[in-house]
Chains A and B, each alone.
Chain A
Amino acid sequence: MSKRIDVKDLNVYYGNFLAVEDVSINIEAKSVTAFIGPSGCGKSTFLRTLNRMHEVLPGARVEGEVLLDGDNLYGPGVDPVTVRSQIGMVFQRPNPFPTMSIRDNVLAGVKLNNQKISKGEADALVERSLRGANLWNEVKDRLEKPGSGLSGGQQQRLCIARAIAVEPQVILMDEPCSALDPISTLAVEDLINELKDQYTVVIVTHNMQQAARVSDKTAFFNIAGTGKPGKLIEFAETSTIFNNPSQNATEDYVSGRFG
């Protein structure tokens, strides 16, 4: 239950503005891949093209191919709704549905895809998903309380539980810890390590230690200057990127010498 992603010659545009230029990358199944790079280099934009969430933004479009185990996400007749139910996403700020209970938050995606689910099955799924997100013990006595009453870190793990409840092939995470304190960050990082046993995980992060801790492979994105498109500079094993990068720009960035 996890698939690989192969991106071929992908360009991302906002209207006529080329935001990300010519990215080709192969993301292995059941691994954690980190995207690092300075702000505005297009790594979040690129991440969104992996489940067509960029289409929410007006004027955004892509050229090129994104293959999920060989199936092009941008092929004719492919419904973005189906794509997103297979490739889940966790956002920068925790966003549980405030009007729903913790339980209903976990079940939100499942109820979309599969309208009929018995109470017993639903209970089992809620427990399995919350256990999978390392949140079960903290919330098992208050499943009917609103999700917005949890702490930030708990909310983020609730969002992860909601994403894995639909059993996606891939989970995309867009700076999932940037709004969390160090303890909550640790909890989410531990979770990412466990998730890769079952899922393909792609994570965008500003925190290089985090990339070094959680990822198997790291992609470094950079931008030549304002108004220029973001590019993929280097993609390799995480240890290579941090210890022995082949590009000067990568070395400057990971060693903190970046301007």
Chain B
Amino acid sequence: MTTTSLTSSRGAGRAGDKVFSGAALAAGCLILAVLFGVALFLVIQAIPAFTAPAADIQGGEGFFAYIWPIVIGTLIAAIIALAIATPVSIGVALFISHFAPRGLASGLGYVIDLLAAIPSVVYGAWGAAFLAPQISPAYGWLAANMGWLPIFQGPASATGKTILTAGIVLSVMVIPIITSLSREIFLQTPKLHEEAALALGATRWEMIKMSVLPFARPGIISAVMLGLGRALGETMAVALVLSSGALTASLIQSGNQTIAAEIALNFPEASGLKVSTLIAAGLVLFVITLAVNMIARWIISRHKEFSGAN
């Protein structure tokens, strides 16, 4: 039997450790570098739009007069999309994870995942060619019966190509993201906690309220944020569905515009200052997305003590 001294070490194992930690570090740095590079590019290219005389910017009233209506339009479309997609997605995910019989659950999960694989241009075409004409009578009804609300003020768009339609199409695109992430998290709820609730005399829904949803809360927020990222940045579907125009409070008239669609529609024919303006719009979208993600992180970290991770 040979004696092994404490100072000798297995060379190969150490080398493997070093390679792995180096690779992990490089991957981490690469993400930061890419993010920084994108931010730098956006800022440098956007500077002319901020410094140019107000009259030269599209609209003739300066960059901020140009950007704020489409910022609001972007947020309106994203909020509509999330307001529809979040409850539907959580409901579907809960059905798959806790209510559906096993055979149905896996089939349904597969179908939901397939929804995410459909290209956004197809969603856009579907929204413009099918959904918009089908839904425009409903807009007429809303204008007639709920027109006293500013968001449903008439006259309703005859084509149905409105920001509400765009929001609905976006919600359909966002549902698979939120659903599949939420479902994974619901399935990870510790059996112990579910049994704790059931043993206290909880019904299935009460068990979900007591153990599954609190456990999944940070994950649901992350899933919604990923969905929001897609809704904010989606270009083709909005460009195809929305008949854009000036900012209007009414969701059922044509009008409004989102940043991503504005860039996509104008970029091919833009030159000079117009390019800078569009890139500056991209920078604004970048900042909005970043801010939304940081707010989400903050919401999650607020309850860290109670997360169950300790």
Interface residues of A (CB under 8 A from B): 51, 53, 56, 58, 81-82, 84-86, 88-89, 91, 93, 95-101, 108-109, 112-113, 145-146, 148-149, 159, 162-163, 166
Q: Cβ of B193 and Cβ of A51 under 8 Å apart?
A: no
- 14 A-B pairs besides A82-B201, A91-B192 with CB distance below 8 A are A85-B200, A97-B214, A99-B307, A100-B214, A100-B306, A101-B306, A109-B201, A112-B200, A112-B201, A112-B202, A146-B306, A162-B196, A162-B200, A166-B201
Q: What are 24 A-B contacts with C-beta separation under 8 Å?
A: A51-B199, A56-B195, A56-B198, A81-B203, A84-B198, A84-B199, A84-B200, A89-B195, A95-B193, A95-B196, A97-B196, A97-B197, A98-B215, A98-B306, A99-B214, A101-B306, A108-B210, A109-B202, A112-B206, A145-B305, A148-B308, A162-B200, A163-B199, A166-B201
Partner of B195, one of A91, A98, A99: A91
B103 CB to closest chain A CB (Å) equals 12
Q: Which residues of B contact A84 (CB under 8 A)?
A: 198-202
Q: Digit string of B197-230 for contact with A (CB within 8 Å is 1, else 0)? A: 1111111001000110011010000000000000
Query: Closest chain A residue to B216 by CB distance?
Result: A99
Does B310 touch A at the CB level, under 8 Å? yes
Q: Known: A97-B214, A98-B215. Contact between A108 and B308, CB under 8 A?
A: no
Q: Which residues of B contact A93 (CB under 8 A)?
A: 192
CA distance A162 to B195 in the complex (A): 13
Q: Cβ of A85 and Cβ of B201 under 8 Å apart?
A: yes
Q: Known: A100-B214, A146-B310. Contact between A95 and B198, CB under 8 A?
A: no
Q: Which residues of B contact A85 (CB under 8 A)?
A: 200-201
Q: Which residues of A contact B214 (CB under 8 A)?
A: 97-100
Residue from the set A89, A98, A109 with the largest chain B CB neighbour count within 10 Å: A98
CA distance A97 to B308 in the complex (A): 8
CA distance A109 to B61 in the complex (A): 62
Partner of B193, one of A82, A88, A98, A146: A98
What band does the interface of chain B fall in when counting residues whose beta carbon is under 8 Å from A?
20 to 34
Q: Which residues of B contact A148 (CB under 8 A)?
A: 306, 308, 310
Partner of B306, one of A56, A81, A99, A113: A99
Residue from the set A93, A113, A146 with the largest chain B CB neighbour count within 10 Å: A146
In order of increasing CB-CB distance, the 4 nearest A-B pairs are A85-B201, A98-B308, A99-B214, A109-B200
B264 CB to closest chain A CB (Å) equals 42
CA distance A209 to B142 in the complex (A): 74
CA distance A85 to B202 in the complex (A): 8
A201 CB to closest chain B CB (Å) equals 15
Q: Cβ of A95 and Cβ of B201 under 8 Å apart?
A: no
Residue from the set A88, A99, A162 with the largest chain B CB neighbour count within 10 Å: A99
Q: Which residues of A contact B210 (CB under 8 A)?
A: 97, 108, 112
Q: Which residues of B contact A100 (CB under 8 A)?
A: 214, 306
Query: Closest chain A residue to B217 by CB distance?
Result: A99
A174 CB to closest chain B CB (Å) equals 10
Query: Closest chain A residue to B202 by CB distance?
Result: A112
CA distance A162 to B197 in the complex (A): 10
Q: Cβ of A95 and Cβ of B306 under 8 Å apart?
A: no
Q: Which of B70-118 contact A (CB under 8 A)?
A: 102
Q: Known: A146-B305, A146-B306, A146-B310. Contact between A97 and B202, CB under 8 A?
A: no
A152 CB to closest chain B CB (Å) equals 13
Q: Which residues of B contact A163 (CB under 8 A)?
A: 199-200
Q: Which residues of A contact B305 (CB under 8 A)?
A: 145-146, 149
Q: Which residues of A contact B307 (CB under 8 A)?
A: 98-99
Q: Cβ of B197 and Cβ of A108 under 8 Å apart?
A: yes
Q: Digit string of B138-157 for contact with A (CB within 8 Å is 1, else 0)? A: 00000000000000000000
Partner of B201, one of A58, A99, A113, A146: A113
Q: Cβ of A95 and Cβ of B200 under 8 Å apart?
A: no
Query: Closest chain A residue to B214 by CB distance?
Result: A99
Q: Which of B239-280 contact A (CB under 8 A)?
A: none
Q: Which residues of A contact B190 (CB under 8 A)?
A: 95
CA distance A95 to B194 in the complex (A): 9
Q: Which residues of B contact A56 (CB under 8 A)?
A: 194-195, 198
Q: Which residues of A contact B195 (CB under 8 A)?
A: 53, 56, 89, 91, 95
B201 CB to closest chain A CB (Å) equals 3
Q: Which residues of B contact A99 (CB under 8 A)?
A: 214-215, 217, 303, 306-308
Q: Known: A53-B195, A148-B310. Contact between A81 and B201, CB under 8 A?
A: yes
B219 CB to closest chain A CB (Å) equals 13
Q: Cβ of B200 and Cβ of A166 under 8 Å apart?
A: yes
Q: Which residues of A contact B303 (CB under 8 A)?
A: 99
Q: Digit string of B275-310 for contact with A (CB within 8 Å is 1, else 0)? A: 000000000000000000000000000010111101
Q: Known: A108-B197, A113-B201. Contact between A95 and B310, CB under 8 A?
A: no
A155 CB to closest chain B CB (Å) equals 11
B101 CB to closest chain A CB (Å) equals 10
Query: Closest chain A residue to B308 by CB distance?
Result: A98
